[in-house]
Amino acid sequence: MQGKLKLSLCVAALSGSAWAAPAHYPSSYQNLEAAAAKEGKLIIYSATDSAVARPLLKDFQSLYPAVKVEYHDMNTTEIYNRFISENAANSASADLVWSSAMDLQVKLVNDGYAASYASPETSNLPKWAHYQQQAYATTYEPVAIVYNKRLLKPEEIPQTRADLIRILKANPSRFKGKVTTYDIERSGVGFNFLTQDYRYSQQGVWDLVRALGRSGVKLQTSTGAMMERISSGENLIGYNILGSYAFAKAKKDPSIGYVYPKDYTQVASRLAIVSKKAKHPNAARLWLDYLLSKRGQDILANQADLFSLRSDVGGAASLSALNQQLGSSIKPIQIGPGLLVYLDQAKRLDFMRNWQQSLKN
């Protein structure tokens, strides 16, 4: 989610695809592949960093060399606002939207922006992983507390939200200006995570926000910005950060440590929708099916480190490994109308006011 990046993968225009579709796909799938090749292009709006998505894009390109992929990397709120504005103006927009702001994605479905599509991969997904065959979950990502391993003492590493509050209160001068989290007014995924926290502990969430406010918390719109500040030591602790990015960065950066909170660990998913007004709908369906396929999910988990949601994909970044590691502390964010509670304008504004007041108190 690093600002406004645009990645174009230009490939030679070849007819057909470079692979055979999985055996369980219907024989008619070759018609969809041929139609996508004829369309020749796919526009994706995504909150997944382009560098993270690169292995997926490269492999998709090798499978469908006739399709030129135009990949726009933006933050979640920017994706939503741009997509609905372009649709209202009937101007060119995304064929597929792929975002971790689950509530905004479900809202796009409910507001009529998404096309229905029965993916041939549906039977291989958890039952909760699609909404009305219009929004499809693609990942199973834990939400973490991230910290600087070089600069934090073992007793300063929070294992729960109560620990985080206690640590910040115990040594306010040490942590002044040294904690970071999402700015929920500008980050859709940050807003979603905090409203989910509120579901589990209505009082506790405001106690935590007050503790963050007293510490002079630094608010950011992107996971990448928070991770870089933690790595450098500018910040020491980050709250509600996508654990997939922490998992990947920790493998390369010895300064990065992370905790999946033991009181409960939210698990989020990047939802993909095909636009009802897509100019290249068949290419969009190909990308969706690829993301959900065993091949795509294996690359997603073991090269992109985004955590697969398929039970038949192995590795450290997989549903089975995460369930085994965390057990009953896992709290997946459920796809459905319940996500929309705080997108009601009055409730959203009330939640924002409580957040702002708690930060100041």
What CA–CA distance (Å, rounded) separates 139 from 2?
19
Beta strands in 47-178 (DSSP E): 68-73, 96-99, 130-131, 135-137, 141-148
The yes-or-no verdict on residue 3 having pLDDT over 80 is no
CATH of domain 33-138+270-317: 3.40.190.10
Strand, coil or helix: what is 160? coil
The mean pLDDT value of the chain amounts to: 93
Least confident of 164-168, 284-288, 290-294, 347-351: 347-351
Contact 75, 100 (CB under 8 A): no
CA-to-CA separations, 139 to 18, 221, 345, in angstroms, rounded: 25, 21, 28
Nearest Cα residue to 59 out of 19, 16, 96, 8: 19
Identical topology for domains 33-138+270-317 and 141-268+341-360:
yes
**What φ, ψ does residue 234 adopt, rounded to 5°?**
-60, -40
The better pLDDT of the pair 316, 11 is held by 316
Beta-carbon neighbour count of residue 18 at 10 Å? 11
Least confident of 22-31, 195-204, 339-348: 339-348
Identify the CATH homologous superfamily for domain 141-268+341-360.
Periplasmic binding protein-like II (3.40.190.10)
State the distance between the two ends of the chain, measured CA to CA, in whole angstroms: 30
At 337 the pLDDT is 82
CA-to-CA separations, 354 to 207, 349, 361, in angstroms, rounded: 11, 9, 10
Nearest Cα residue to 297 out of 41, 11, 22, 19: 22
Tokens of 91: 């101007």
Going by pLDDT thresholds of 50, 70 and 90, the confidence category of residue 311 is: very high
Name the pTM for this structure: 0.89
Per-residue pLDDT, averaged over 57-72, amounts to 97
The better pLDDT of the pair 18, 30 is held by 30
CA-to-CA separations, 37 to 26, 44, 68, 304, 336, in angstroms, rounded: 18, 16, 9, 26, 33
Contact 274, 115 (CB under 8 A): yes
Contact 193, 241 (CB under 8 A): no
The better pLDDT of the pair 222, 69 is held by 69
What CA–CA distance (Å, rounded) separates 241 from 231?
14
What CA–CA distance (Å, rounded) separates 287 from 291?
6
Going by pLDDT thresholds of 50, 70 and 90, the confidence category of residue 68 is: very high
What CA–CA distance (Å, rounded) separates 266 from 196?
8
CA-to-CA separations, 258 to 123, 231, 309, in angstroms, rounded: 34, 12, 21
Annotated domain spans of the chain: 33-138+270-317, 141-268+341-360
The yes-or-no verdict on residue 12 having pLDDT over 60 is no
Nearest Cα residue to 137 out of 167, 98, 190: 98
At 339 the pLDDT is 85
Going by pLDDT thresholds of 50, 70 and 90, the confidence category of residue 19 is: low
CA-to-CA separations, 91 to 40, 82, 279, 285, 353, in angstroms, rounded: 19, 11, 11, 21, 35
At 340 the pLDDT is 86
The better pLDDT of the pair 4, 216 is held by 216
Going by pLDDT thresholds of 50, 70 and 90, the confidence category of residue 2 is: very low
Give pLDDT tens digits for 232-278. 999 999 999 999 999 999 999 999 999 999 999 999 999 999 999 99
The yes-or-no verdict on residue 14 having pLDDT over 70 is no
At 345 the pLDDT is 86
Give pLDDT tens digits for 73-123. 999 999 999 999 999 999 999 999 999 999 999 999 999 999 999 999 999
Give pLDDT tens digits for 22-44. 889 999 999 999 999 999 999 99
